[in-house]
């Protein structure tokens, strides 16, 4: 089931389009290229849905409900539209899509270099070389777990883990855990590790607070119906900010659980400010905790106001408006934790992710290492990127958000190829 279509896929040669990555974004791209009969190959370093297999912790479920798990030509067909997929379920879903879409996937094929030449792009892999007029980068937004510079100053006897290395609390040694970062990842791990009996401190910088359910519906229902998820990249005030927003503090669970800093506090997790440095063996936290929480509370309230206003002008049946408690902060949150007295045994860096472009030998990266693109049209002729946050729309990084982006970009790509339909014979 895994080596889908493998028998028909060449190891090397010439094609119109090389798609890099067989996750949901690469497979959706392949589906849309197939619709237009554009010759292409999808190169995958591991198996279909590789990141979902190898780079996710065990308990993770999607942040979006099942009704939002849809790809071009492919809908969720299960009996729990309001549930949240576990990782094995996501892998099955994407693998089934690969089969359904008959994507020409070449698995276990790692791209080691992409460079420009007179005929387009030369794509070198561990199994051979490809020549293509166009390249679609669909290799993911979260290849590398980013750690701040302060990570280098942590005493060597403290275990240091990224979310890519973390599978579950069983792998942690007994003792205190410092979780750095308060996005979806940081909160979920702090919650799980605290329930496993560890003393947990979470370092909280700027974050996005969002309730799982609002007015009797999943928050995603409102984000979808109000049109927020469809907001386009050329409509937002500050695109760089929108693209860099941390993931909202949500968790997917069968009990539709609310996860926020208050629920962590109720379970005994200690809140600290952003981790700023390590000095004489002590971790130092920012004194800005109350402000980052005030910012997040105000922004959540603005979102809920917007939803309430939308409901007022649309005929929907739902529960009444509600407001959530402000984030509770100690009068004097801790500013420092001793890393040498044994109270902290593990630090988890939930400090974000970035794509890996180390194989990309085309000068399209900015000084921060981000790919330069206009809504997925990369700053090199015939090159495209898909599956990044806010690529073309707020929903771009969600599974269901890929379709509109990929349809837009394959139209652009088709025009780039000269509209020359190459009918597969």
Partner 1 sequence: MSAVLKEVDNGVNVEALLGAREALTEAPEAAHFVWRATSEWQNGTHTQSSVNRYFGLGEEQSHVQEYSYDTDHPEIFASEDKGSTPVEFVLVGLAGCLTAGIAAVAQNRAIQLNSVKATIDAPMDIQGILGIDSDVRNGFAGITVKYQIDANASEDDIAAIVAQSQKRSAVFDIIANPTNVTVEVNK
By CB under 8 A, name the one of 112, 279, 340, 358 that touches partner 1.
279
Shortest spacing between CB 300 and partner 1, in angstroms: 11
Decide if residue 298 touches partner 1 (CB under 8 A).
Answer: yes
Decide if residue 302 touches partner 1 (CB under 8 A).
Answer: yes
Decide if residue 358 touches partner 1 (CB under 8 A).
Answer: no
Would you say 291 or 343 has its CB closer to partner 1?
291
Contacts of partner 1 in 68-107 (CB under 8 A): none
d(CA 38, CA 242): 33
Shortest spacing between CB 305 and partner 1, in angstroms: 8
Decide if residue 381 touches partner 1 (CB under 8 A).
Answer: no
Stretch touching partner 1 by CB under 8 A, among 215-223, 292-300, 386-394, 402-410: 292-300
Would you say 287 or 342 has its CB closer to partner 1?
287
Please classify residue 217 by burial: count the beta carbons closer than 10 Å to its beta carbon, then call 0-12 exposed, 13-18 middle and 19+ buried: middle
The secondary structure element, H or E, covering residue 404 is: helix 402-416
Decide if residue 332 touches partner 1 (CB under 8 A).
Answer: yes
End-to-end C-alpha distance for the chain, whole angstroms: 26
Would you say 163 or 333 has its CB closer to partner 1?
333
d(CA 317, CA 323): 18
Decide if residue 144 touches partner 1 (CB under 8 A).
Answer: no
Decide if residue 35 touches partner 1 (CB under 8 A).
Answer: no
Decide if residue 236 touches partner 1 (CB under 8 A).
Answer: no
Kindly report the backbone phi and psi dihedral angles of residue 324, in degrees, each rounded to the nearest multiple of 5, phi listed first: -105, 150
């927020």: which residue's tokens? 228
CB 131 within 8 A of CB 14: yes
# residues contacting partner 1 (CB under 8 A)? 18
By CB under 8 A, name the one of 286, 351, 396, 410 that touches partner 1.
286
Cα 356 to Cα 45, 138, 145, 369, distances in angstroms: 13, 11, 10, 9
By CB under 8 A, name the one of 96, 236, 295, 364 that touches partner 1.
295
Decide if residue 287 touches partner 1 (CB under 8 A).
Answer: yes
Decide if residue 294 touches partner 1 (CB under 8 A).
Answer: yes
Site map (CB under 8 A) of partner 1, residues 204-233, x = contact = --x---------------------------
Contacts of partner 1 in 238-277 (CB under 8 A): 273, 276-277
Shortest spacing between CB 336 and partner 1, in angstroms: 9
Stretch touching partner 1 by CB under 8 A, among 136-144, 164-172, 245-253, 294-302: 294-302
Kindly report the backbone phi and psi dihedral angles of residue 423, in degrees, each rounded to the nearest multiple of 5, phi listed first: -70, 125
d(CA 312, CA 295): 26
Kindly report the backbone phi and psi dihedral angles of residue 339, in degrees, each rounded to the nearest multiple of 5, phi listed first: -95, 5
CB 346 within 8 A of CB 284: no
Decide if residue 201 touches partner 1 (CB under 8 A).
Answer: no
d(CA 369, CA 374): 16
* Angle of CA points 41, 72, 395, to nearest 5°: 105
Kindly report the backbone phi and psi dihedral angles of residue 190, in degrees, each rounded to the nearest multiple of 5, phi listed first: -60, -40
d(CA 49, CA 94): 6
Would you say 122 or 299 has its CB closer to partner 1?
299
Would you say 292 or 371 has its CB closer to partner 1?
292
């496993």: which residue's tokens? 196
Strand ranges in 141-255 using DSSP code E only, listed in sequence order: 144-145, 159-161, 176-180, 200-204, 213-214, 217-218
By CB under 8 A, name the one of 6, 8, 115, 291 that touches partner 1.
291
CB 299 within 8 A of CB 208: yes
Stretch touching partner 1 by CB under 8 A, among 222-230, 261-269, 279-287, 306-314: 279-287
By CB under 8 A, name the one of 225, 301, 407, 412 that touches partner 1.
301
DSSP β-ladder status, 200-204 and 213-214: unpaired
Shortest spacing between CB 363 and partner 1, in angstroms: 17
Would you say 98 or 371 has its CB closer to partner 1?
371
Residue 157 contacts by C-beta under 8 Å, 6 or more apart in sequence?
none
d(CA 29, CA 311): 35
Stretch touching partner 1 by CB under 8 A, among 118-126, 259-267, 290-298, 415-423: 290-298
Which residues are near partner 1 by CB under 8 A?
206, 273, 276-277, 279, 284, 286-288, 291-292, 294-295, 298, 301-302, 332, 367
């Amino acid at each position: 089931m895994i080596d889908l279509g493998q028998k028909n896929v060449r190891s090397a040669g010439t094609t119109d389009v090389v798609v890099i990555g067989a996750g949901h974004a690469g497979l959706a791209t392949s589906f849309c290229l197939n619709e237009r009969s554009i010759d292409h190959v999808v190169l995958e370093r591991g198996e279909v849905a590789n990141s979902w297999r190898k780079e996710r912790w065990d308990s993770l479920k999607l942040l979006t409900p099942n009704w939002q798990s849809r790809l071009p030509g492919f809908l969720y067909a299960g009996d729990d539209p309001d549930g949240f997929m576990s990782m094995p379920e996501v892998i099955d879903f994407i693998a089934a899509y690969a089969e359904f879409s008959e994507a020409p996937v070449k698995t276990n094929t790692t791209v080691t270099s992409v460079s420009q030449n007179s005929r387009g792009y030369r794509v070198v892999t561990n199994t051979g070389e490809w020549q293509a007029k166009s390249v679609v980068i669909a290799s993911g937004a979260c290849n590398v777990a980013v750690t701040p510079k302060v990570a280098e100053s942590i005493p060597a006897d403290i275990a240091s883990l990224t979310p890519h290395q973390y599978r579950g609390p069983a792998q942690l040694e007994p003792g205190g855990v410092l979780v750095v970062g308060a996005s979806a990842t940081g909160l979920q791990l702090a919650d799980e590790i605290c329930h496993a009996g560890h003393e947990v401190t979470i370092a909280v910088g700027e974050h996005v607070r969002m309730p799982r359910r609002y007015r009797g519906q999943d928050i995603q229902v409102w984000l979808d119906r109000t049109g927020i998820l469809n907001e386009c990249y050329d409509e937002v005030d500050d695109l760089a900010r929108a693209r860099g927003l941390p993931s909202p503090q949500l968790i997917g669970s069968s009990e539709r659980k609310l996860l926020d800093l208050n629920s962590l506090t109720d379970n005994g997790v200690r809140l600290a400010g952003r981790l700023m440095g390590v000095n004489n063996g002590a971790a130092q936290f920012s004194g800005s905790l109350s402000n980052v929480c005030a910012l997040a509370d105000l922004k959540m309230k603005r979102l809920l106001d917007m939803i309430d206003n939308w409901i007022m002008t649309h005929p929907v049946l739902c529960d009444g408006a509600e407001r959530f408690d402000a984030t509770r902060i100690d009068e004097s949150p801790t500013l420092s934790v001793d890393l040498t007295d044994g109270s902290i045994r593990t630090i988890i860096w939930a400090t974000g992710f970035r794509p890996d472009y180390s194989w990309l030998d085309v000068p399209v990266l900015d000084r921060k290492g981000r790919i330069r693109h206009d809504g997925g049209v990369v700053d090199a002729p015939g090159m495209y990127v898909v599956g990044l946050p806010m690529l073309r729309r707020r929903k771009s990084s969600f599974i269901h958000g890929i379709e509109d982006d990929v349809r837009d970009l394959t139209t652009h790509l088709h025009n780039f190829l000269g509209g020359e339909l190459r009918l597969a014979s």
